[in-house]
Structure formats: C-alpha cells, structure tokens
Chain A
C-alpha cells in the first residue's frame, strides 16, 4: 500500500461568525439562548447557535405566511425559477467554501462534500428552477396549487444537501418555508441564508430557525403551517405523523432504512466489493439508504469476505479535511455511543465483529469500519438501523431466499443487487420492497430521480417530478 502525505484543505476558506441568530423575514435575529456547535473531528467550538423558541417559530411562520400571501404566490413561475437559478449559481460560486464549512461542522471527508454534497446541492436548485414555470406538466392537471407555508426539518448527515432537497422543490412549486437544520450541523444552513440574501430572494420566502427537537415540534404543530417535510429517524417520523393526525397538514417523511445489498455468485466480485464499501462506508454509514445488510450467495461468501477485508485494510480514516481521507468523524458523541452499543449487542448475540487495523485520532468521535459476520435475521444488528460504518453479513442460496431476507424488515428505503444476469436484475427489482433499487451500483443520487421509501421508511418522494408533487395539490 502506498503512503499518502497529508493534503489538508484550508480551513481559512470559511469564516464563521462567533454567534448566529435565526434567519427570519430576510434578516438575522439577535443571537439568544445559544448553544455551541462543534467540529466533531476536533471537538473545537465553531460558533454559538440560537435555540429557537415558540416565539421564534411563530415569527418565522408569520414571515413565511406574509411572503406567501403578498409576494411569492403572486410571482409567475418563470420568475420564481429565476430566483432558484440564481441560488444554484451562487452555490456553485461558493462551493469550495460550503464544502469546507460542511466538513468542519459535520465531520465527513472533504472529498465527499466537495465531490458529492455540494455539487448535488447546486444541481438540485438548478433542476427544480426549471420546473417552476412548468407546473402544469407535473401530473396534477392544469394550475396545480402550492400548499402555502411548509415546515421543513432536516438531519445532520447531509446538512446542506437535505436543505436543498427540501427547499428547491418547495419554492419551485410556490410554497414558502421555515426550515430547521439539525442541532449538530446548523452552519451551512446559516450560510445558505446569506446566499438567499445575495440572490435577493424576497424576504420571508426562506426562513431558517435553529434549535433542537422541541423547536421542530413547534414547527410541526404551528396552526398556520400547511405542510410538513421531515428527514430523520423513524421514531421521530412516527411522532410527527401522530402530531398532524386529524389536521389538514400534509407530510413527506423520509425515515430510516436497513438496506439489503445482495451479491450473487455471478456478480463482478471486485466491482461488487467496491459497491459494498461505498454502500456502507460512504459518509461514515450515516446514510438512511446505506447498504447495511450484506446478503452474499453462499458459494461466494468466503471469497467476497476475503476481498472485502483486503479492501477495508486500505480505507483511510482520519482528518476529514484531508483530501485523501475516506472515513471522517462520527457526527456526535451521542451517535458514537449508539453505534458502539449496537455493535456490542451484536457481538453479545453471537456475531463476530471485525475491523481493519487503523489509527484512531485522539480528539473527536471516530468509529473504525466494521463488519459483523455470523448473524441471522433475528439479530439486533440486522434489524435495527445503526447509522454508522457497520455492515452485517448474511448468506443466501436462492434468489427467492435473497428476496425473502431482503424484504424481512420494517424498512423499505433502498436495496442493492449485484449480478451480471440482466433478467435476474429485473425480477429482483420487481420483488424487492424498496423505494430505490441500485443494480450493479449503489448510493447514486440525482435531482431528476425520485427517492423515498416503502413501509416504515416513510412516505412521499423527493427528487424528480414525483418530488415536485410533494409540494403541490390539484386545483379542483
């Protein structure tokens, strides 16, 4: 194996303020009730963030309502689209800064923020910009209507990308939004507020309120909110579904997953191993659609595991700002504790955990990439979403057994299939109960492609024409 000299990206590409208020009605409020947001790779404080109160939420919803009634709903689609194009362009201009900011606050490798997160953010706005004046073609007949004010709550695993998935289609459809970033990763959303100012987006069309779960609950419960969009855990998704029961509020919920990644004996095994690594170790496994259950056909189990272990020995874990880093920091101490607890439980239930020998940095939160073999569908690590770099491995003999095991989950977000046989891919794709099926690839995302789950992985789609429909209603 080659040694790599350190190649750190410059931290000076982004300047955070010492403290941030909320972004309401086009202006930042005075910071209040602050809490610290840190770099999870170093545990250094990056900025002080305001914890949103009921009053903050109310003024944000009022600003959004006001902007909806007086400005945004009166603009023609082409003009709304031009604002979104402007935002897309400013994101491209500031992409290096945003990538650095995201890596500092989230802990994910700069390689990923630079090559995946931020380019997708720009492309999401560019894609939905083009829909804004074509809503008649969305599939709801002529003159579909926006819902009005949308509360949007996004997670910490892809902070700015999830913001883009939420805000771009909402605005294209003519809604105004109040968005809350996750408590551990608020900084790129606050930089996005500046981008809205630079794009001269009318005041109140986008409002950013920072805070914890209680702030989010107030955003869901506010009586003047018409629609809720949430990405996060299935447990919180359930709470939101209960909270809006009996109201007129619509919801889009993108929740947990426990994807099966199925490798047949006739697969291109080296490619499949790359796909397995990408499927579970991309973004430290903090991915709702991560391929966290590897199903290998029995005849190739040993060779696949051997290749996988050899590949894992070459994974570089460490400074997320280093351009060579593959696996960065776990986003929070809380998440690290959860991963550790679940893996210990897996071992207690009889699984064998294996991780390559890699140096773990002293400060910050880290978890070495891990595979657990010798587990069955009843084991905790096979059933529960770990949301970390941990892969459970099982075997199967026939395609029918692979389908049965893959579908044996409360979740249904994604699945992977590796085989060189085309007819098998198509039949597997038909039978897998998952919203996204990646065949001979994994973890691909695109603004033109709908994403979202079956069963307890939530409902509604983001991306593509389907994602636009989440923010529209028929006019009759």
Chain B
C-alpha cells in the first residue's frame, strides 16, 4: 500500500506560504474529534508583516483596470472549480457534511466569485453619479477602495464564509488580511493555493490561520489598516473600540450574510470611499 503524502498547512502572506514566524502551530481535528492536521498559528509579527505587504500591494491592485480585476476574480472561480474535489473532501472531513451539502457549499463559493467578478466595472455605474450642482461646474462622485482591510471570516464556515469575506473587499481594489475560522481552517489554506494560481498579485489577499481573539487586537489597533470586518470575532465591541483609534471603517457582526452564491453591493460599498471631483465649466 502506498503511503499518502500529506499537506503542510501554512500561512499565505505576500503570495508566499510561510510558516508562522513564531513557529507556533495548533491541532485541527475532524468532525469526529480525530487529529487531522497541524496548522500554523499566526503571531503578532505575522500580522504586522501581512499589513506591510497588503499596503504595498494595494495601490497596484486598485490601479489595475476594472476589466482586469474582473478577469482575475473570474479566474479564481475557474481555479476553484478545478479543485472542487479537494474542497469537498476537506469540508466533509472537517464538518461532517454530506457530499451533497459539501458540494453545495463549494458551488456557492465558486458562484460568489463569479458574482463579484462581474461587479468590478459596474460599481460606479450604480453607486456613483454626476451631481447637478447650482453653478457652472462639472461634478462627479465615484467610489474608490478604502485601502487595507482586516477581516475575520465567520467561524462556522469552511469555505463560502471566507469567500464572502474576501471577495467584497478585493473586488474594488482593496487588499486584505483575512483571519480564517479557527476550527475550520483547511479549506482556507487550500483557497490560498487557488488564489496563488489565479493571477492575483501577491499581497492582495493574505490569509492567516490562528486564534481570532488573539490576532484581533493587533489588527484592530494597527494604524495602517483602514477598515475592519468583525464577522468572525467573539470580542467585537472591544475590537471596535480599538478600531476607533484611527477611525477605521467597521463592518459589525451579522451585517451581511456570508453563506450564499451572491454577496451584497452594500457590503462592497462599505469598504469603499466616495470621492467627488469638481471642475469649473467655461471657455
């Protein structure tokens, strides 16, 4: 009998797969409570490194054309579809879901990438406008990404919850540091492998496995993070207080459903800034 080659589950920072700088790991069990894998337990230094690479990747990603970003997001859907079997297997092993249920979750995750991919070049058509001001001025409001987003994926979802946390942030040109579900992190690491092969520039999405409460305070208080999504946290009020220090944009727990094949335009807009440009009209 051939011995299976098992995967080492590591972090995803700046397009690479490092172990935690701290060397820490934690055990992840399957739904029956049996040992499944050792997963990297991200540290404060990993958080700080992720913010640095997310910041340096952000302007390039935001500067890509919406058409280009749309194709990259669509490519993610393609890559995810191609590795469906692996996701289904991981979800089943971790959660005990039936094959049908696991397939449904993967379907939703893939379709959500497609849904988001289509938004890149339509956000301003729907949520921007010419403003008819009372004077001889050209005046237009458009939306631009808010910058670096820190997000906590829902704890009770392996894949679709994470996808519906990452996609609304990056669709518009933000970069993100996503903290996975602590107990269901395997699909997240596999998703990182999908992202790594999807033409997504390194550093746009950074995925950290570990303890959300521990990582939360470092991200919420980090002054180079512009927005925080508190969905998967257990100490949201405390983190919202820390986030106030540099007036981070905050998405509170329960604001948006993360289980479906569609996201929410409002979720996307919560991570964007309206910019209004004036210019006089004249000869």
Secondary structure class of chain B's binding surface, majority of residues: mixed
Interface check A440, CB cutoff 8 A = yes
B67: chain A residues within 8 A (beta carbon):
none
Interface check B139, CB cutoff 8 A = yes
Interface check B8, CB cutoff 8 A = no
- Docked Cα-Cα span, A435 to B137, in Å, equals 17
Are the C-beta atoms of B134 and A448 separated by less than 8 Å?
yes
A448: chain B residues within 8 A (beta carbon):
131-134, 139
Interface check B36, CB cutoff 8 A = no
Interface string of A455-466 (1 = CB under 8 A from B): 111110100111
Max count, chain A CB within 10 A of own CB: residue among B127, B135, B139, B244: B244
- Docked Cα-Cα span, A456 to B225, in Å, equals 12
Q: A444-B278, A474-B266 are in contact. Are A253 and B247 (CB under 8 A)?
A: yes
Interface check B6, CB cutoff 8 A = no
- Docked Cα-Cα span, A458 to B246, in Å, equals 9
Interface check B64, CB cutoff 8 A = no
B132: chain A residues within 8 A (beta carbon):
448
Interface check B29, CB cutoff 8 A = no
Interface string of A66-102 (1 = CB under 8 A from B): 0000000000000000000000000000000000000
Are the C-beta atoms of B247 and A234 separated by less than 8 Å?
yes
A-B contact count (CB 8 A): 105
Are the C-beta atoms of B247 and A465 separated by less than 8 Å?
no
Q: A123-B134, A140-B266, A474-B266 are in contact. Are A238 and B247 (CB under 8 A)?
A: yes
Q: Which of A105-113, A239-247, A259-267, A311-319 contacts B (4 or more CB under 8 A)?
A: A239-247
Q: A242-B241, A456-B246 are in contact. Are A139 and B279 (CB under 8 A)?
A: no
- Docked Cα-Cα span, A458 to B146, in Å, equals 12
Interface check A449, CB cutoff 8 A = yes
Are the C-beta atoms of A449 and B279 separated by less than 8 Å?
no
- Docked Cα-Cα span, A237 to B127, in Å, equals 26
B59 to chain A, nearest CB (A): 9
A159 to chain B, nearest CB (A): 22
A255: chain B residues within 8 A (beta carbon):
247
Are the C-beta atoms of B278 and A245 separated by less than 8 Å?
no
Contacting B129 at CB < 8 Å: which of A123, A455, A465?
A465
- Docked Cα-Cα span, A76 to B237, in Å, equals 37
Interface check A437, CB cutoff 8 A = yes
Max count, chain B CB within 10 A of own CB: residue among A140, A255, A436, A474: A436
Contacting B237 at CB < 8 Å: which of A245, A425, A434, A464?
A245
A241 to chain B, nearest CB (A): 3
B61 to chain A, nearest CB (A): 14
Interface check B283, CB cutoff 8 A = no
Are the C-beta atoms of A449 and B246 separated by less than 8 Å?
no
A347 to chain B, nearest CB (A): 29
A25: chain B residues within 8 A (beta carbon):
none
Max count, chain A CB within 10 A of own CB: residue among B141, B226, B237: B141
- Docked Cα-Cα span, A255 to B246, in Å, equals 12
- Docked Cα-Cα span, A446 to B126, in Å, equals 21
B247: chain A residues within 8 A (beta carbon):
234, 237-238, 241, 253, 255, 455-459
A23: chain B residues within 8 A (beta carbon):
none
Are the C-beta atoms of A449 and B278 separated by less than 8 Å?
yes
Contacting B133 at CB < 8 Å: which of A410, A430, A446, A458?
A446
Max count, chain B CB within 10 A of own CB: residue among A440, A452, A459: A459
Interface check A450, CB cutoff 8 A = yes
A273 to chain B, nearest CB (A): 16
Are the C-beta atoms of B134 and A439 separated by less than 8 Å?
no
CB-nearest residue of chain A to B264: A474
Contacting B278 at CB < 8 Å: which of A237, A433, A438, A465?
A438
Are the C-beta atoms of A435 and B274 separated by less than 8 Å?
yes
Interface check A156, CB cutoff 8 A = no
A238: chain B residues within 8 A (beta carbon):
244-245, 247
- Docked Cα-Cα span, A388 to B187, in Å, equals 55
- Docked Cα-Cα span, A140 to B141, in Å, equals 17
Q: A139-B127, A241-B247, A441-B137 are in contact. Are A450 and B241 (CB under 8 A)?
A: no
With A238-B244, A429-B275, A452-B274 given, name 19 new contacts (CB 8 A).
Answer: A241-B240, A241-B244, A245-B243, A245-B244, A255-B247, A430-B144, A433-B273, A435-B275, A436-B275, A436-B278, A438-B278, A441-B278, A441-B279, A444-B135, A448-B134, A455-B226, A455-B246, A457-B247, A466-B274
6 A–B contacts from the bound complex (CB under 8 Å): A139-B127, A245-B240, A253-B247, A429-B275, A446-B133, A449-B133
Residues of B within 8 A of A (CB): 126-127, 129, 131-135, 137, 139, 141, 144, 146, 226, 236-238, 240-241, 243-247, 249, 266, 273-280
Residues of A within 8 A of B (CB): 123, 139-140, 234, 237-238, 241-242, 245-246, 253, 255, 410, 412, 425, 429-430, 433-441, 444, 446, 448-452, 454-459, 461, 464-466, 474
The 7 closest A-B pairs by CB, nearest first: A246-B237, A241-B244, A245-B240, A446-B133, A245-B241, A242-B244, A449-B131
